[in-house]
Amino acid sequence: MTRKGQISRERIIEAANRLIYIKGFNQTSFADVANEIGITKGNLHYHFKSKDEVLDAIVEYRLQGIRMLLSDWDNEFPDAKDRLHRFVQMLVNEEQELIRYGCPMGSLNVELGKTQLTQRDRSREMFDMFTNWLDNTFKQLGNKDHRKLSQHLLAMAQGAVLMSYVYSDADLLRNEITLIRKWIDDV
């Protein structure tokens, strides 16, 4: 693929990722993506033959982003508790988007889980990546229940985001973040 073709593909993935986060996978069409970046549907079809191919590319795009993020946190924060707090800080940093649209991982998995189980399994890899990273982080703290703790932290974060989204309530999210931080300190 030429450099120009690669740039177009990247632009398509970025636009589709954003639209699917805002509108949902099933509500986002090829025409929506093409219109968003000012290309023809034919050009989009040149790069992706189906929405499932677009979804695979978006999941891979998100997974690459998560890999880089977690690697950066590992390098930036040698202390395991500091890394856990950095994970929670992600909710603070994305507060407005989370309250307006929900969690990009959670929303996509819920939507796909209703009718597109194969795609949901692929999308779940994002949760797996965070869960495994949290598991390793809790393991470094010497806790024998590291897997349960990692799943619990992720569940608390997802629950906080969902409730804040449902009620469009930033204070609810902030209060939950305070409780999650205290829980981390007490682990």
pLDDT score recorded for residue 7:
66
What is the pLDDT, as a whole number, of residue 3?
58
Would residue 56 count as lying in a domain? no
Instruction: Give this prediction's pTM.
Output: 0.90
Q: Is residue 1 part of a domain?
A: yes
DSSP state of 79: S
How many Cβ atoms from other residues are within 10 Å of residue 119's Cβ? Answer: 20
Phi, psi for 8 (deg, rounded to 5): -60, -45
**pLDDT at residue 130, rounded to an integer:** 97
Please tell me whether residues 89 and 30 are part of one structural domain.
no
Question: Same domain, yes or no, for 73 and 126?
Answer: yes
pLDDT at residue 78 in the model: 96
Q: CB under 8 Å to 5, separation ≥6 — which residues?
A: 47
Residue 58 lies in a domain: no
How many structural domains is the chain composed of?
2
Residue 173 lies in a domain: yes
Contact by Cβ (8 Å): 146, 133: no
CA–CA dist 72, 9 (Å, integer): 26
Residue 158 lies in a domain: yes
Question: Is 55 inside a domain boundary?
Answer: no
Phi, psi of 175 (to 5 degrees): -65, -45
- Buried b / exposed e across 18-51, counting CB within 10 Å, b at 16+? bbbbeeebeebebeebbebeebeeeebeebbeeb
Question: What is the model's pLDDT at position 162?
Answer: 97
Task: Examine the domain organization and report whether 146 and 80 are in the same domain.
Answer: yes
Co-location of 111 and 45 in the same domain: no
Q: Which pLDDT does position 131 carry in this prediction? A: 97
- The answer to whether residues 23 and 78 belong to one domain is no
Q: In which domain, by residue range, is 9 found?
A: 1-49
Are 144 and 181 in the same domain?
Answer: yes
What count of Cα atoms within 13 Å lies in the side-chain half-sphere of residue 168?
1
Do 149 and 143 form a contact (C-beta atoms < 8 A)?
yes
Question: Do residues 35 and 73 share a domain?
Answer: no
**pLDDT lower than 50: segments of the chain:** none
Do 92 and 176 meet the contact criterion of CB atoms below 8 Å apart? no
CATH number at residue 109: 1.10.357.10
Same domain assignment for residues 132 and 177: yes
Residues 103 and 17 in one domain: no
> What's the CA gap between 81 and 184, in Å, rounded?
7
Q: Does some domain include residue 105? A: yes
- Token digits for 84? 């856990």
Predicted local distance difference test score (pLDDT) of residue 123: 87
Provide the pLDDT for residue 4: 58
Query: Is 57 within the bounds of a domain?
Result: no
pLDDT of residue 122: 85
> Residues 31, 114: one domain?
no
Tokens standing for 176?
């939950």
User: Both 40 and 86 in a single domain?
Assistant: no
Q: Are residues 70 and 44 in the same domain?
A: no
Smallest Cα–Cα separation from 20: which of 8, 9, 33?
Answer: 33
CA distance 73 to 84: 9
pLDDT given for residue 21 in this prediction: 96
